[in-house]
Chains A and B, each alone.
Chain A
Amino acid sequence: MRQIAVYGKGGIGKSTIVQNVAAALGEAGHSVMVVGCDPKADCTGLLTGQLFGSTVLEELRDHPSSASGSVDVSLDRIVQSGCFGVRCVEAGGPEPGVGCAGRGIITAINLLEREGAFTDDLEYVIYDVLGDVVCGGFAMPIREGKAREIYVVTSGEAMALYAANNIAKGIARFSRSGGARIGGIICNNRNVAAESDLVETFARELGSRVIATIPRDNIVQESEIEQQTVVEHAPESAQAQKYRDLASAIADNDLLSIPKPLTRDRLVEMSASLVRAYCR
């Protein structure tokens, strides 16, 4: 079983990419689970065709706990089946402005492990983790040797690169203690100036590389409106093939490395020089 974690700035397109990659893997006959690690619980709606009912943490909240603090949880309620047989789980979490979502992620993943949700027949478990890894809880998927390969989604926008670099600092920490490695950068195009140069340079200086570039395409939004992945909604489209290519690249990937985060000065300088060169 390969455990993969996908991080990246909020709104950059992680969940869309994760769900499409999962669909592509499922379409090719692999056994896949997507674990959404976001209190918004919006990581698997394109696979299941609906926005969720039961999250892991809702189960915890609504069902009385035993004396030892463990919860009597029914996996049937929290593991849903999506298209191409992809299994879908949402960790869930508190509403905005209350509680501690990070603690929620820790609890949810512990609970899934304890209840045996990660069965032996699973080939891939993909953790889709919310944008800013603001506290220890959101690093839970890459702690203690769970997800050892991490992909970071970015565009050429400065803030997305900054966020990706920041996430790399977290990954580097868990590289030292837990064997976490960065498997590659996924470029999700926003079509900004010098985008591919920026992302490729960034990836190289980080000690990694761009594993795929996903073009910007309206078919993504069309599919989303239908509550489907592109792979399901428009299987013949060029975009669907891009996701299949990414899925293959990940499946075949053995280039894992420890990231070397850039300094802020270098990031700024890099962006400025590449964009200026492009604009001349």
Chain B
Amino acid sequence: MSVQVVNEQGPSRALQIDALKMCPPVGAMYAALGIHGCLPMSHGASGCCRFQRMELAKHFQRIVHVSSSLLKERSAIFGGEANLTEAVANAFAAYDPDIIAIHTTCMSETIGDDLRGIVGNLEIPAGRSVVAASTPGYAGSQLTGYAAMVSAFVEQLAQGDAPAWDGLALLPGWLNPSDIEELVRLAHGFFGEVAVLPDPRGVMDRAPSRDERVYLPGGTPLADIARIASSRALIALGEEAAWPAIDVLDGIVDKRGSSGARAAASASMKLSLPIGIEATDRYLEALAATSGVPVPAAFACERAACVEKVMELHPRLYGKKVALLADADMTLPLAEFFAGIGMQPVYLAVGWADADFAARAVDMLERFDIEGVVNPHADRFDVEEYLEAHPVDLLVGGTRAKLLARRFEIPLVRVGFPVVDRPLSFLDPVVGYRGALCLMREVLRGLAERAEEGLPPEGLSIAETF
């Protein structure tokens, strides 16, 4: 019984074939779009911005407005300050955002533009803000960029002396708006007020106005960012996407001294994404611990209903082998859930994960006695090679995994980012007990459709025993 880790230090080849990770600027954009009235700005060449926002546009099936400082050869040689200064002025004038969130690209990072210095010299219209984050494209994944942008918002806009307020500040990591909705619904069982940073609800799930100067109603209000360090409780979900911002916030809270409301409550809490029953239990326990409110009976009922469904349906899932192609934050909670309901997550393929991912993955798989492979620097070719030697029953991942699913004639459950070929799939949550049921439903649907494939009409069953 053993778990094997491959590519622990890095990819096994210099050639990446169908890369599984995206670059940090994609994450920075997604985080910025979750702020109300925010226009993301890419400090780099126009091509970067163009393709990065397309990933978001395709996933959410909507136009995404992102600006760029449009660096060209001249800027590579002389630095990007002139372009960025002009771009910010133009963006405020043309698009009237409340806030511009700048992130860097490979180019602006390699030439070493002093982003903070440039931003410090900007003439910003009264009542507006500019925030900047360093997100070189060649270091980390989209989660890294997301975390850097959220950390920048916190560091540059959170006010250490904001009055204490009696609610929850939630940093939700890389999730869809419907997941955020579910997490907030659960949080409201414990807290009257919940601030979410960032909050793509009401932004990514809506079409933009035809007037580019009009911003959608959703996104984290700037006032919530200002007071984020003064909440009673603080929970971050997602090791790579959300935990780094907590460290920044803790620094701000520490500076406040023990007069803050937080001193009385527990320290900030860092959790994995609440995907699956166990992870959701941990989320609810954290909410209870930080609020002092016991878990509402209604949630206990939800859990019971979910567990009942698992017990009813798990014979159809038992022993089914799954290969996961997801990001570093999503993969382990997904694997934990599948293992917990009796499935076998035998190959965990992550495009890029930080240094302690492999150890956590091994611990988790060993807990369930899974003989699996963990690949924290995988590409889709790695997965293909694995599948050639080790057949599985199911793939779980984004749209691009469909080529492998078709090749090996197994179902694909579309989870993660981006999912572009099944419109509105981002409407189903994957978090919470509700999300667990949705995941199970999709797994069962996939397996059932696969079983029925190729059968003549008269061979199809219209009765199901339970």
Residues of A bordering B, CB below 8 Å? 57, 60-61, 65, 69, 93-94, 97-101, 103-104, 107
Contact = CB atoms under 8 A, between A and B. Distances in A.
Nearest to A106: B77
Nearest to B72: A69
B123 interface: no
Nearest to B75: A99
A98 B74 contact: no
A242 to B, nearest CB: 37
Contacts of A103: 73, 76-77, 111
B45 to A, nearest CB: 12
A26 B88 CA distance: 51
Contact of A65 (B74, B76, B78): B74
Contact of A100 (B72, B77, B81, B114): B77
A60 B114 contact: no
B72 A104 contact: no
Nearest to A70: B73
Nearest to A62: B74
Contacts of B77: 57, 60-61, 93-94, 99-101, 103-104, 107
Contacts of A60: 73-74, 77
B78 A94 contact: yes
13 contacts: A57-B78, A60-B74, A61-B74, A69-B73, A93-B77, A99-B76, A99-B77, A100-B77, A103-B73, A103-B77, A103-B111, A104-B77, A107-B73
Nearest to A110: B73
Contact of A61 (B78, B80, B114): B78
Contacts of B111: 98-100, 103
B236 to A, nearest CB: 36
Interface in B56-88: 72-81
Interface in B136-194: none
Contacts of B75: 99
A103 B107 CA distance: 11
A98 B72 contact: no
Contact of A97 (B72, B76, B114): B114
Given A61-B77, A104-B78, A107-B77, 5 more contacts: A98-B78, A98-B79, A99-B75, A100-B76, A103-B73
A49 to B, nearest CB: 27
B43 to A, nearest CB: 14
Nearest to B80: A99
Contacts of A69: 72-73
Contacts of A94: 77-79
Interface in B68-119: 72-81, 110-114
Counting chain B CB atoms within 10 Å of each CB, the highest count among A97, A101, A103, A107 belongs to A103
Contacts of B80: 99
Interface string B312-349: 00000000000000000000000000000000000000
A100 B110 contact: yes
Nearest to A137: B77
Contacts of A57: 77-78
Interface in B14-52: none
Q: Which 8 residue pairs are nearest across A and B when measured between Cβ atoms?
A: A98-B79, A99-B79, A104-B77, A100-B111, A99-B78, A94-B78, A103-B76, A103-B77
